[in-house]
């Protein structure tokens, strides 16, 4: 229960950080724990409305969050607020005037968990395309989500970044361009690019990267503490790795740069959710359209395709994870312009072979 004095203290705190320290906004941590008397413990949220409305909802906490967002937006409409909520509370990210919680964004926390689960538990040939698409698109209609491929928790000591999970110890020995491209490094680099792009393009209305992960940082982050004898050794990010022309980190960094530049040009994050035209389990292919672009992903561990029919009217390659400048194998011709035929495919009237 919030007394009026506690409420005034919490709200004035928010205003102080904005006006005295020029904060751009806030990420509210552990919102699920605040929203419910059961704190989300031992509860699996399926999305059914009965799970979000009833006596188990902590109304005082919900009212505080609505007041906090209303105050922030009233005084500083340029500020952004983000909810760390795993429950999917309806309207949490709609304006207070609509009866919503007033947050601008919710963190899509299921996405990084899904990538780690897939990489840890499944062989490449057992990846489920439908499950990946479901996880990336499972969000409340017209509520904005922040998609991210890996979370800060996974980059802290005791866990591994995506790149380290994919390539592990070989990152210390086989990332030089002077060394032959090993199967482990090849697979890791290609999947790292694809995972980031499909998360960026399909997973939400904004994209979050943990520092260093844009170029596949090999190590975790660990701050000085008793458990590591107050060591600063891992309290850093090695940004110099991207500047070493003899290391393959530069390929991952270049891809991240061009991925973000392409989004700036076409604005898919501000566009409606994608139309997914294909999630083919045997071929391991996912295809979808968003912001006038066609995205095609081949997750098959060893099968490339020629004359593969996809839904589109006309296209030219804009971003190719297999391009040489991203450490790829340069199997696609970028000078070709592809035109479609009136050949119905995947519920669309036109398609083409790629």
Distance, in Å, from the CA atom of 269 to the CA atom of 347, rounded to the nearest integer, reads 25
Q: Which two tokens stand for residue 195?
A: 């995972």
Tell me the pTM. Answer: 0.92
Angle at 319 between CA 129 and CA 338, to 5 degrees: 90
Known catalytic residue at 98: no
Q: What is the distance in angstroms between the CA of the first residue and the CA of the last residue of the chain?
A: 61
What one-character DSSP code corresponds to residue 86? S
Q: Phi, psi (5° rounding) for residue 289?
A: -115, 135
Buried b (16+ CB within 10 A) or exposed e, 63-94: ebbbbbbbbbbeebeebbbbbebbbbbbbbbb
Distance, in Å, from the CA atom of 89 to the CA atom of 91, rounded to the nearest integer, reads 7
* Residue 307 CB burial class (10 angstroms; 0-12, 13-18, ≥19): exposed
Known catalytic residue at 214: no
Given CA atoms 239, 244, 247, 250 in this order, what sign does their dihedral have? positive
Q: Helix (H, G, I), strand (E, B), or coil: what is residue 320?
A: coil
Domain boundaries, the chain: 4-107, 109-353
Residue-level pLDDT at 308: 83
Residue of 92, 80, 91, 94 lying closest to 27 (CA atoms) = 80
Measured torsion, CA atoms of residues 256, 262, 264, 269, in degrees rounded to the nearest 10 = -80
Place of tokens 């006038």: 292
Distance, in Å, from the CA atom of 70 to the CA atom of 189, rounded to the nearest integer, reads 44
Place of tokens 């899904």: 114
Residue-level pLDDT at 88: 94
Catalytic residue among 48, 58, 59, 84: 84
What one-character DSSP code corresponds to residue 272? P
Given CA atoms 141, 142, 144, 150 in this order, what sign does their dihedral have? positive
Catalytic residue among 19, 29, 126, 153: 29
Q: Catalogue the E-assigned strands of the chain.
A: 25-28, 80-83, 105-107, 145-147, 206-207, 275-280, 285-290, 293-298, 309-310, 314-316, 337-339, 352-353
Which residues have CB under 8 Å from 159's CB, separation 6+?
Answer: 153, 220
Residue-level pLDDT at 73: 97
pLDDT in tens, the chain (354 residues): 568 889 999 999 999 999 999 999 999 999 999 999 999 998 888 888 989 999 999 999 999 999 999 999 999 999 999 999 999 999 999 999 999 999 999 999 999 999 999 999 999 999 999 999 999 999 999 999 999 999 888 777 667 889 999 999 999 999 999 999 999 999 999 999 999 999 999 999 999 999 999 999 988 888 899 988 999 998 999 999 999 999 999 999 999 999 999 999 999 999 999 999 999 999 999 999 999 999 999 999 999 998 888 876 677 899 999 999 999 999 988 988 777 677 787 877 777 677
Residue-level pLDDT at 338: 72
What one-character DSSP code corresponds to residue 339? E
Residue-level pLDDT at 345: 79
Question: Would you tell me which CATH number, out of the four given (3.40.50.720, 1.10.3720.10, 3.20.20.80, 3.40.50.2300), belongs to the domain 109-353?
Answer: 3.20.20.80
Q: Helix (H, G, I), strand (E, B), or coil: what is residue 163?
A: helix
CB atoms within 10 A of CB 103: 28
Residue of 106, 108, 87 lying closest to 203 (CA atoms) = 108
């Amino acid at each position: 229960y919030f007394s009026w004095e506690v409420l005034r203290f919490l709200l004035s705190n928010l205003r102080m950080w904005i006006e005295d320290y020029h904060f751009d906004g806030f990420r509210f941590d552990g919102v699920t724990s605040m929203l419910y008397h059961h704190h989300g413990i031992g509860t699996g949220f399926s999305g059914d409305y009965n799970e979000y409305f009833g006596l188990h909802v902590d109304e005082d906490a919900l009212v505080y969050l609505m007041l906090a967002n209303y105050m922030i937006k009233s005084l500083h409409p340029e500020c952004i607020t983000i909810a760390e909520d795993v429950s999917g509370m309806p309207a949490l990210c709609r304006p207070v005037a609509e009866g919503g919680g007033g947050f601008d964004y919710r963190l899509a926390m299921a996405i990084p968990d899904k990538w780690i689960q897939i990489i840890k538990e499944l062989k490449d040939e057992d990846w489920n395309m439908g499950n990946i698409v479901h996880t990336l698109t499972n969000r409340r209609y017209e509520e904005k989500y922040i998609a991210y491929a890996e979370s800060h928790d996974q980059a802290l000591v005791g866990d591994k970044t995506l790149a380290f999970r994919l390539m592990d110890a070989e990152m210390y020995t086989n990332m030089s361009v002077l060394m032959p491209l090993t199967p482990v490094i090849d697979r890791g680099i290609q999947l790292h690019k694809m995972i980031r792009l499909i998360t960026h393009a399909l997973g939400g209305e904004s994209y979050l990267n943990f520092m260093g992960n844009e170029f596949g940082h090999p190590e975790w982050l660990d701050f000085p503490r008793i458990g590591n004898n107050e060591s600063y050794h891992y309290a850093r990010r090695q940004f110099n790795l991207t500047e070493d022309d003899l290391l393959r980190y530069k390929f991952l960094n270049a891809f991240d740069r061009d991925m973000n530049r392409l989004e700036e040009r076409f604005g898919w994050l501000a566009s409606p959710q994608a139309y997914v035209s294909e999630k083919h389990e045997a071929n391991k292919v996912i295809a979808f359209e968003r912001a006038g672009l066609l995205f095609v992903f081949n997750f098959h561990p060893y099968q490339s395709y020629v004359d593969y029919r996809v839904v589109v009217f006309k296209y030219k390659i804009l971003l190719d994870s297999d391009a040489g400048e991203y450490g790829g194998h340069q199997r696609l011709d970028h000078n070709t312009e592809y035109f479609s035929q009136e050949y119905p495919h995947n519920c669309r009237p036109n398609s083409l072979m790629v």
